[in-house]
Amino acid sequence: MDRKDIIQSTEYGNKAEAFEAFDDIPTNPHLGRTIGDVIQQRYGRRDFLRGSLGVAATASLFGATALTAPRQVAAASARDSRYVFDELQWGNDVDHHIAEGYNADILVRWGDPITADAPDFDVMNQSAEAQAQQFGYNNDYVGFAETEPGRGMLCVNHEYTNEEVMFPGLGRQDRSDFEGMTADLVDIEMAAHGGSVFEIVKGADGKWAINRDNPANRRITANTPMTLDGPAAGHPRLRTSADPAGMTVLGTINNCAGGMTPWGTYLMAEENFHGYFWSDVLDAEGKPDISAQPEAASMDRYGVPGRWYAWGQYHDRFNIDKEPNEPNRFGYIVEVDPLNPDAMPIKHTALGRFRHEGAETTIAADGRLVIYSGDDNRFDYQYKWVSADPVTKANSHFGSSLLSDGTLYVARFDADGTVQWLPLVHGQGPLTAENGFASQADVAIDTRLAADALGATPMDRPEDAQPGPNGTAYLMLTNNSRRAADQTDAANPRAESRFGHIIEIREDGGNHSAEKGTWSILVLCGDPKVEEVGAMWNPETSENGWFGSPDNCAFDNAGRLWISTDQGSNWGRTGKSDGLYALETEGDLRGHSKLFFRCPVGGELCGPYFADESRTLFLAVQHPGTDGTKDFAGFERDSTFEDPATRWPDFNPNMPPRPSVVVVTREDGGVIAG
């Protein structure tokens, strides 16, 4: 199907799904290189295709680490780490559900006022001015900067907007080439993007609530001025007519996952930025024709312009015919100081430009700052940033040089179980002027092209990547329906992978800054009963516990891994709503998964984030009532503002579904799953 067919297809119930399907057409031109290159798999392909796993298969698949670890020690530590809760029953309905013995309370919803003078939400009369002081749309990353026990700043990304359920009488706009959009609606969308930062306080009753009166509360939107640092700051390729210095950008967009730095600042990852750029120059099929663009090669690799939103019709900076350099100013990691509303956010170009899913930080054994970040596109790469200097008290502050002086690496997963981190450094290897990289600025702006040149491994859509204890990291490879059988490799072993997998990395010496480590596959997702799926779970995993399309993940303070899912329209293939799962990484239960929370229909689960010494867990339910509602028994149509599949969380007949942050606590106030 070409772009027009996908947009008009009834298979995709909303714009986000349709454009994601369109994005299935990969932009990475170097796929041929891996075929046969690492095809001699680390594990036999027959084992992967086996549906249910016997003991022997489990032992051979669960990786060298589990096999070489002293059995008794591993088993003992596993017992200590077990998740103590009664598993939730799988399913999918209009409401959310949590395991027995826990509270799951709504903390904040789209439109809720977050500043002292914000107006109350009026969904029939929304304005950009009101939205810019109210909680934004499609909450994804949640972080927390604790200021004292029971108090701190919640930091939430607002990834994108769904106009068909936000605005009355509008419907899906991509199908009509945005004919219903107006300048006012576009401005509301822009104000609903970005992030929210606001104080929350835990009351005597153990419930968290927003303190609207904290003067540091603020919205960050697609119009918030931000500065740049790192090698691309001020570069001619970042200069525009509004910003001839190339140093000040308006706004941040498509902020998906993120991270918190060790010093308590908030990192927002700019993911599908390409979708916001417009062009009126189209080819015969209605696709943007960038052949006359000076940045054509770069735009092609990044999928610019995506034309997912009509912003470029009202704001010239989003129209590449008028501002060809504006896309070079997005696709970065943005740092925000949650305690200082006057501090202008910083786009850290040293961390590279790609569709950053997240930016999870850790301090390596050698004291340096390490940030893992995936490029969420089919056949794109996994990256890691390592600061030049160790983290010290003196450099632990907003705008630290730890985010500009260092090395960005991209991963190559070898079939022998080694992961090599390849440095993206101008002048080294192929990253020279002869190959189009005149300086480190070009490497920072065209990170994807630089990583292509180094021979990184094209992955099955790298979503969140979470550093764990003892030099481990866990990579969520969410799915890749476009990988052909002859494109499989050891680290991406399934063709047409609908359900994704999780890779565990163990960095050499237990040191996250190492340039080399080992990798193994923790689980291959999907239904273990269906042989063709080729799933791999610990055999103890129940019918409730297996999942598809891992997206976000977090560790609790006992070092245990939690995974949230985003199946999109694929949920119809599992029958299960998205949710949160507890996944064992050690000992005899390695690869064992249990369901803890599930979303209302059509919602994706984001967060998760543990705070309050793991007595509080923040979850974000994004786009409730939208994805795959044609498969929702009894509804079986696309959601609209007037006729949504669910009106979660208000269940008010005059209110559409609202993306919301949920706070999970244990009824007895104890540690989650402790």
Contact pick of 243, 271, 504, 507 for ligand FEO (by CB under 6 A): 271
Indicate whether 159 belongs to the interface with ligand FEO (CB under 6 A): yes
Residue 310 gets the label, from left (phi > 0), alpha (psi -120 to 50) or beta, of alpha
Q: Collapse the DSSP code of 566 into the 3-class scheme (helix H, G, I; strand E, B; otherwise coil) and give the result.
A: coil
Smallest distance, Å, CB 608 to Ca ion?
A: 7
Q: Which does 271 bind (CB under 5 to 8 A by kind): Ca ion, ligand FEO, none?
A: ligand FEO
Contact pick of 87, 463, 504, 507 for ligand FEO (by CB under 6 A): 463
Q: Which does 431 bind (CB under 5 to 8 A by kind): Ca ion, ligand FEO, none?
A: none
Q: In whole angstroms, give the CA distance from residue 255 to residue 139.
A: 9
Indicate whether 380 belongs to the interface with ligand FEO (CB under 6 A): no
Cis peptide before 327 (omega within 30 of 0): no
Smallest distance, Å, CB 332 to Ca ion?
A: 17
Contact 131, 216 (CB under 8 A): no
Residue 206 or 471: the one with the smaller Cβ distance to Ca ion is: 471
Binding to ligand FEO by CB under 6 A, coded x per residue (else -) over 200-239, reads: ----------------------------------------
* Tokens read off for 120: 């109350």
Q: Which does 159 bind (CB under 5 to 8 A by kind): Ca ion, ligand FEO, none?
A: ligand FEO
Fill in the amino acid letter for 328: N
Count residues contacting ligand FEO (CB under 6 A)? 7
Residue 163 or 357: the one with the smaller Cβ distance to ligand FEO is: 357
Smallest distance, Å, CB 466 to Ca ion?
A: 5
Q: In whole angstroms, give the CA distance from residue 228 to residue 328.
A: 12
Indicate whether 357 belongs to the interface with ligand FEO (CB under 6 A): yes
Fill in the amino acid letter for 648: W
* Tokens read off for 460: 């099955």
Indicate whether 376 belongs to the interface with ligand FEO (CB under 6 A): yes
Which residues fall within 8 angstroms of residue 73, CB to CB, at 6 or more apart?
none
Helix (H) or strand (E) holding 442, with range, is helix 440-445
The strand pair at 346-348 and 225-229 is best described as parallel
Smallest distance, Å, CB 603 to Ca ion?
A: 12
Indicate whether 627 belongs to the interface with ligand FEO (CB under 6 A): no
Q: Which does 514 bind (CB under 5 to 8 A by kind): Ca ion, ligand FEO, none?
A: none
CA dihedral 310, 316, 320, 326 (to 10 degrees): -110
Residue listed under structure tokens 């850790």: 362
Query: Footprint of Ca ion on this chain (CB under 5 A)?
Result: 256, 463-464, 466, 551, 554, 566
Residue 272 or 400: the one with the smaller Cβ distance to ligand FEO is: 272
The strand pair at 459-460 and 346-348 is best described as unpaired
Q: Collapse the DSSP code of 391 into the 3-class scheme (helix H, G, I; strand E, B; otherwise coil) and give the result.
A: coil
Residue 590 or 623: the one with the smaller Cβ distance to Ca ion is: 623
Q: Which does 20 bind (CB under 5 to 8 A by kind): Ca ion, ligand FEO, none?
A: none
Q: In whole angstroms, give the CA distance from residue 12 to residue 153.
A: 37
Contact pick of 256, 503, 620, 673 for ligand FEO (by CB under 6 A): 256
- Per CB under 6 A, residues contacting ligand FEO are 159, 256, 271, 357, 376, 463, 551
